[in-house]
Amino acid sequence: MNVTGHTRRSVSIRDVATAAGVSYQTVSRVINNHPSVKPSTRDRVLAAIDELGFRRNSTALALASGRSRAVTVLTSNTTHYGYASILQGIEETARAAAYSVGVGVLESTDEADEAAIAAQVQRAADSGGGLIVIAYDPAGVRALGAVPAELPVVGVVETPASPPGDDRPWVWADDREAAYEATRHLLSLGHETVHYVAIPSSTRRTSARTTGWQQALREAGAPEPLPLQGSWGPAGGHTAGLQLAQDTDVTAILCGNDDLALGVIRALHEAGRPVPGEVSVAGFDDAPHSAYLTPSLTTVRLDFTGLGRSAFALLHGALEESAQIAPHPVSVPELVVRESSGPPPARG
């Protein structure tokens, strides 16, 4: 019942101690639920705490104990639906565990930001606590690589095919499987093959999504066209779409994310190729607006929030032996069939 408020200098455990007529250590025991405190004493201390409006100073706690109960999330562009959802999932779980969440944005201005990335990692390391790196894109992957070995870190990665020597814990959604399903869906509609507009790959090698797409094509004995390199936003999809629209053989396109798909559909529209009449398009991620597009978008839903939750749980386990290490379940991607995919046009 701290009615007075306005305590300029914060009240410390020593203030509480004198108020309760005990030593500061006893107060420390009370706030840490140490068993060996006489109930009557405990009550007295708790009363004093309530009276003075004491709140434990987390900075001092961090300094003295070493553990800071903080996570820093390193990510590029938080405005992308997937990234934002992961962040949301992390925050939610972290909050439940009384952890604070920090954010560091990786400017993915392509080149020369190697130093900037290193600086961000350093900053995150300095602020103590654990680290979660969203490594879906080159900037994230480089950041993950730049994390000093002794720092507790969890990567949210595109594929578990970790680089050699990388034994860091990670979580991932099964992008390969998702792409595989989406591609099979399009093939099952009767398309001869499926083209692919890729998001910037997180690795030098081919991405998980690309792999899943290729696998589906191969199993079906379909021709394997070269993937088109897109960007993250709809603009990249638009460019790629204009290009694909030229080729009348193209009847099905899988896109690395929903934004790309949007751009592709727009380009096809501009080129006079109706979707799904002439060309079918499928996206990736199931962003909230995808269901309301015209045509509504066939896509693969991934549980980003759950991914964030798993990432934190894993980190939490690494940080505190007390926390049980929840196995990081690879959530199964779910194909959502909507209007943008349909059978190919009858052969002319």
CB of 54 to DNA, least distance (A): 7
Choose the contact partner of 37 out of its own copies, DNA, none; CB within 5 to 8 A by kind: DNA
CA distance linking residue 89 with residue 305, whole number of Å: 4
Return the number of the residue (58 or 324) whose C-beta is nearest its own copies.
Answer: 58
CB of 101 to its own copies, least distance (A): 5
Q: How many CA atoms lie within 13 A of 194 on its CB side?
A: 37
Phi-psi region of 313 (alpha: psi -120 to 50; beta: other; left: phi over 0): alpha
Q: Judged by CB under 7 A, does residue 63 bind DNA? A: yes
Return the number of the residue (18 or 248) whose C-beta is nearest DNA.
Answer: 18
Choose the contact partner of 294 out of DNA, its own copies, none; CB within 5 to 8 A by kind: its own copies
Neighbours of 102 (CB within 10 A): 18
Check if the beta carbon of residue 261 is closer than 8 Å to that of residue 283: yes
Binding mask 6-45 for DNA (x = CB under 7 A): ---xxxxxx------xxxxxx-xx-xx--xxxx-xxx---
Phi-psi region of 15 (alpha: psi -120 to 50; beta: other; left: phi over 0): alpha
Choose the contact partner of 24 out of its own copies, DNA, none; CB within 5 to 8 A by kind: DNA
The residues that touch its own copies, with contacts defined as CB under 8 A, are: 5-6, 8, 55-60, 62-63, 68, 72, 77-79, 81, 84-85, 87-88, 91-92, 95, 100-105, 120, 122-123, 126-128, 148-150, 233-235, 237-238, 259, 262-263, 265-266, 269, 288-289, 291-294, 296
CB of 21 to DNA, least distance (A): 7
CA distance linking residue 2 with residue 6, whole number of Å: 10
Neighbours of 266 (CB within 10 A): 17
Check if the beta carbon of residue 198 is closer than 8 Å to that of residue 230: yes
Return the number of the residue (82 or 317) whose C-beta is nearest its own copies.
Answer: 82
Q: Judged by CB under 7 A, does residue 323 bind DNA? A: no
Choose the contact partner of 41 out of DNA, its own copies, none; CB within 5 to 8 A by kind: DNA
CB of 45 to DNA, least distance (A): 9
Which residues in 241-280 contact DNA (CB under 7 A)? none
CB of 31 to DNA, least distance (A): 6
Interface contacts to DNA, rule CB under 7 A: 9-14, 21-26, 28-29, 31-32, 35-38, 40-42, 54-57, 60-61, 63-65
